[in-house]
Amino acid sequence: MAPQKFADLGKEARDLLSKNFHFGAIKLEAKTKTANGVNFTTEGSHNTDSGDVAGSIETKTSLPYGLSLTKKWTTSNVFTGTCGVENKLIDGLKVDVDTSFAPITGKMSAKLKTDFTGCSNLRATADIASPDFTAPSVNASGVFAYQGWHLGYQGSYDTAAAKLVENNACLTWKSGAVTLHAAIVNASKYIYSAHHDVNSNLQVAAALQCDAGSETGLNVGAKFALDGDSFVKAKLDNKLNLGVSYSQKLTAGVQATLSASVNGKALDQGGHKIGLHLNFEA
């Protein structure tokens, strides 16, 4: 089995500390699939602080010869499309072509993405993105795995400025239910995280971020499954911001998540936020 992508290393702790927390927002997501295999996804969100409303509709279709086509239209009037093929050109190679177009401004962009997993202990990805079809940027990453250790590197080169704009490296260790992750971002930010599946019902995670010239940040959190249809999550940072969420399966294909953020340093003041996320799938 090939290792994770560079962007997914340390994902276990990040997901526990970020997913299912929708502070200050009301979100709706609906997914359905037609009889001929076309997948539809509709999303909408309302920011309770600014009053902004955003939405999108997406379709994904499987085509002959292993091709897939994804089209998405957003309320910001941007159309995006992705055409991909996997394990057809070379075994283990996935190629996607992403394009976007804003009819009002006429702005177009394109990206060629490749992901190669032909080796059991090596994974390589590369993206070539061009916002105006003249000066593309190149993003490349690779992950090497050996006996639970994952060493990854990711860099991004801007051809217009002729310089390296991203220079990131990480080391991840996985053993059973434990994942430890350390990363260096542009030689100025250091990120450390730990994730542990304590048992089938309980997961815990912690993340520490040290950024040059700014305060060190610490987050700890846990997820507890109440039963097969519901779970609760809680997280706390070094500024005493407490986040909690409760997710419940209401019926087949319907999931509701209620979350809240409380400023522990100013319980008698405003600034506390709540959020609601509804998922429908049929």
Q: How many CB atoms lie within 10 A of CB 200?
A: 7
Please give the pLDDT value at position 20.
95
Sign of the C-alpha dihedral computed for residues 19, 21, 24 and 28 taken in this order: positive
Q: Which of 27, 31, 60 is nearest to 45 (CA)?
A: 27
User: What digits encode the pLDDT tens for the residues 4-17?
Assistant: 999 999 999 999 99
The DSSP call for residue 282 is: -
pLDDT, greater one: 39 or 88:
39
Q: Domains in the chain, ordered, with CATH?
A: 6-281 (2.40.160.10)
Query: What distance, in Å, lies between the first and last C-alpha atoms of the chain?
Result: 31
∠ Cα 11 12 14 (to 5°): 60
What whole-number distance in Å separates Cα of residue 101 and Cα of residue 99?
A: 7
Q: Are 48 and 277 in contact (CB under 8 A)?
A: no
pLDDT at 1 over 90: no
pLDDT of residue 141 exceeding 80: yes
60-105 pLDDT, tens digit each = 999 888 899 999 999 999 999 999 999 888 888 999 999 999 998 8
149-200 residue pLDDT tens: 999 999 999 988 889 999 999 999 999 999 999 999 998 899 999 999 999 9
Q: Is 133's pLDDT higher than 70?
A: no
Q: Which residues pair with 95 in a beta bridge?
A: 85, 114
Give the C-alpha distances (Å, rounded to integers) separating 103 from 77, 79, 100, 126, 130.
Answer: 7, 8, 10, 28, 18
pTM above 0.85, yes or no: yes
